[in-house]
Structure 1
């Protein structure tokens, strides 16, 4: 996924095709959110033969790359995001925002960039936190089961 993020020709999106860019951004985040919620429900219900330990981290990583792509596209518009010159910068800013570190070296200046940053923060609070909690619960259950396989859940 990370290799695709760095190699895909995403320069055709952004200011050149704003409607398509917003549509793809919204669809990607919605699809990832639905898939994450499905995994959360499967963990909460104890559905057998699901693989949240594999699927949840992949979906979380994909959502980070979607936001990084959005920041990269926004950086092509003058005055929108200061400090993003490369895809690595966009990925760095996404992770810094996700981690709530906020070094201040990259700043969303324009209204659109601030909106995307707000969406990322809300998305992280709602979907990524729920997914991480479900993953933690699943892993805890698996560890307990392996420590004592005869103990009922």
Structure 2
């Protein structure tokens, strides 16, 4: 499908991709609130760390793949969609880790629920740091530092790639429009 054809979609063809994307994001949120995260944490520390590491590594690899698609200007890729969904997934991976860590006494102050964990993740990602939830234990602090580092490296690279892609698209459309090719 060409860029012109994609831009000309109307009706169900225009709505369907947004429904799919919204459905995937909603499924991620639902999974976060429905998965049995209480089975992780202090009862199964090795399993908890393995699941966290595997999920975070998978998201990082997929993010880097999307960044590469932008850098090589791969026309059949949809990095805006995929990167957005991967960011949602990474937020929920960190939230699940924080929620599981909070089951261990002394790891967090003020983090009791999944909503607390999601809130703390977003506040940390936004570098706001209200101070109402604080990592107290060493494991909680390690994961918090890892999230900050992960955000700087992977999420910043992904956001930069998206910005570059969007800027290039605008420039191309402007150049086409300037030559009477609208």
Using the size of structure 2 for normalisation, the TM-score is 0.80
The reply on whether 1:4 has 2:31 as its aligned counterpart is: yes
In the TM superposition, residue 150 of structure 1 has moved relative to its aligned partner by 7.0
In the TM superposition, residue 149 of structure 1 has moved relative to its aligned partner by 3.3
The reply on whether 1:136 has 2:163 as its aligned counterpart is: yes
The reply on whether 1:81 has 2:142 as its aligned counterpart is: no
RMSD: 1.3
The reply on whether 1:64 has 2:91 as its aligned counterpart is: yes
In the TM superposition, residue 147 of structure 1 has moved relative to its aligned partner by 3.4
Q: Which stretches in structure 1 are left out of the alignment for 5+ residues? A: none
Separation in structure 2 between the aligned mates of residue 139 and residue 83 of structure 1, nearest angstrom: 40
The reply on whether 1:104 has 2:118 as its aligned counterpart is: no
Select which of 55, 58, 76 maps to 1:28. 55
**What's the CA shift string for 1:51-85, capped at 9, x where partnerless?**
00100010011011000000000110111011111
SS in 2 for 1:78: coil
Structure 2 equivalent of residue 14 of structure 1: 41
Structure number, greater radius of gyration: 2
The reply on whether 1:125 has 2:170 as its aligned counterpart is: no
Structure 2 equivalent of residue 43 of structure 1: 70
SS in 2 for 1:14: coil
Structure 2 equivalent of residue 147 of structure 1: 174
Separation in structure 1 between the aligned mates of residue 83 and residue 58 of structure 2, nearest angstrom: 13
Question: Between Structure 1 and Structure 2, how many residues are aligned?
Answer: 151
Using the size of structure 1 for normalisation, the TM-score is 0.94
Q: Which stretches in structure 2 are left out of the alignment for 5+ residues? A: 1-27
The reply on whether 1:92 has 2:119 as its aligned counterpart is: yes
